Structure 1
């Protein structure tokens, strides 16, 4: 299933969306140039240290000419660098050691798994964009100002591409169909049943019997949870009297359905709903331990496992 990456006008320029066929957008924050540069410097230092170790090993074999060692060092840096980027991003799903430290990663434009072809292409393009022109620039001298100037202009042009791109894609990303994003931070909502159900109901004075909790299933429990979470986030309070009428209607509906005789005061309607949520959840979880799953209020005896 192909996903569409698009820029949304209501978000920051550094934020994009992966929109799957189901229509639920996944908002992802595009990694900025600063954090990508920090990851790149980390990776360069690691590969440079590895190359220096190889050069020292070669020098111990009798190669002592400075020009020879510089040539071998440049070759070792290239031979170490390219496999490092490709293999680490393959092994760690789009991350090198530098990217892992900076908490960024490479993702595919179409939302699928990263292919070997895409990772090889984007990293070989990195050689053509930055490393080879930089090596050429450092190796030339004042006698070749034209070639040095061309190499410098090529590096500047390569750096301008992500600066002018809303998703900070360099040439390698554009050709390979990849993006570099910040790692999404998982956010777990607070469990509404953080305390034992019995403890809450005893404190608040609302007690529900087993036959009263048999009327509803998992669907109704999830609906009630969404209502309570809206109250906690403060979104519901902005609706004023309309939301208060909704709470009253839900409380009365539950009371009539389960046969709860006691009247619920207006000030304690939310307490009643929280207590009922905890008791209902504990009841359904206990029934599930015995192999019975109540999907919704329409659950019938014939739906139970035989």
Structure 2
């Protein structure tokens, strides 16, 4: 017999969901990535990085630049200096995604719902070296370690691998230090009917206003606008969302009292048209963390 939560979600599925409330005050629910997806992404990333390392080693060995011992030292150095920048730079450029994560549809996000910072990305990936790669390299290259130290390193690696398995948020040690989690990459679909309902209400948004948010935030706004607020609490929430969006996009005009709903409806309509027009030219903006190009680049 299946057990459901109060919102109708199966209990087993609810355990994999986590809710964030970003500065825009719109709660967003993410699905935690499975251990299998994360392991698969890691294997792909290792294939890409070590594939490049082995090609470089073959070229260097063929050129006869180093002796055998020098080649081993060069391998250890180039492995570290290719692997670490690969993870850090790719997650910075692609907002929490490496090539492996992009292929398997998962990404790293900040636990507090805000944008990932370079500090968080650097911390979680340097911790990965401490968790796995340095102990593994020591075990593989240290024939004279002794069985006690070898056993300690093996136990450490096993413990770090098991941490996400028994962790509620499936965080490894690096995620705990950096304050991050790994989630399935959302693929929002814009619904066609809501924008038709919004008539022009006198609000004009410039390109710099509409270039802030992406498709995912638009979907979250749509979930709020599906039904007008009927309670004081709901009206207060709508007002808070409107004021937050107004400040975030730099909309200077103050909103008339009790016109927040109209503001959000018109913003939704114009934002949707803007995103669809950009999509026609190949600029697909999935969320507010997109990297804008050309005249729409955020300051």
- Looking at structure 1, the residues matched to 80 and 120 of structure 2 have their Cα atoms a distance apart, in angstroms, of 19
Other-structure match for 1:49: 51
SS of residue paired to 2:114: coil
Instruction: Please give the residue correspondences for 1:231-270 in structure 2 after superposition, counting only pairs within 5 Å.
Output: none
2:94 to 89, 92, 95: 92
- Looking at structure 2, the residues matched to 95 and 193 of structure 1 have their Cα atoms a distance apart, in angstroms, of 31
Describe the superposition over 1:184-227 as per-residue Cα deviations: whole angstroms up to 9, x where unpaired.
12133354899xxxxxxxxxxxxxxxxxxxxx9679xx9xx958
Other-structure match for 2:189: 187
Shift of 1:62: 2.1
Describe the superposition over 1:103-127 as per-residue Cα deviations: whole angstroms up to 9, x where unpaired.
1111111222211111111100000
Shift of 1:24: 3.9
Instruction: Please give the residue correspondences for 1:99-110 in structure 2 after superposition, counting only pairs within 5 Å.
Output: 99-110=101-112
Other-structure match for 2:283: none
- Looking at structure 1, the residues matched to 22 and 194 of structure 2 have their Cα atoms a distance apart, in angstroms, of 30
Q: Is the 2:18–2:29 Cα contact (8 Å) retained in structure 1? A: yes
SS of residue paired to 2:112: coil
Structure number with higher relative contact order (C-alpha < 8 Å, ≥ 6 residues apart): 2
* C-alpha spacing 1:21/1:192, structure 2 compared with 1 (3 Å): closer
Other-structure match for 2:28: 26
> What do you get for the CA RMSD once the two structures are aligned?
3.1
Other-structure match for 1:137: 139
- Looking at structure 2, the residues matched to 103 and 118 of structure 1 have their Cα atoms a distance apart, in angstroms, of 20
- Looking at structure 2, the residues matched to 155 and 119 of structure 1 have their Cα atoms a distance apart, in angstroms, of 21
- TM-score normalised over the length of structure 1: 0.57
SS of residue paired to 2:182: strand
- Looking at structure 1, the residues matched to 137 and 200 of structure 2 have their Cα atoms a distance apart, in angstroms, of 64
* C-alpha spacing 1:226/1:128, structure 2 compared with 1 (3 Å): closer
Shift of 1:74: 2.1
Other-structure match for 1:116: 118
Other-structure match for 1:150: 152
Rg: which structure is higher?
1
- Looking at structure 2, the residues matched to 156 and 110 of structure 1 have their Cα atoms a distance apart, in angstroms, of 29
SS of residue paired to 2:109: strand
SS of residue paired to 2:183: strand
- TM-score normalised over the length of structure 2: 0.58
Other-structure match for 1:231: none
Equivalent pairs, count = 196
Shift of 1:174: 0.6
Segments of 5+ residues of structure 2 without an aligned counterpart are: 1-8, 202-221, 228-268, 270-299
Report the more deviating stretch, 120-129 or 22-31. 22-31
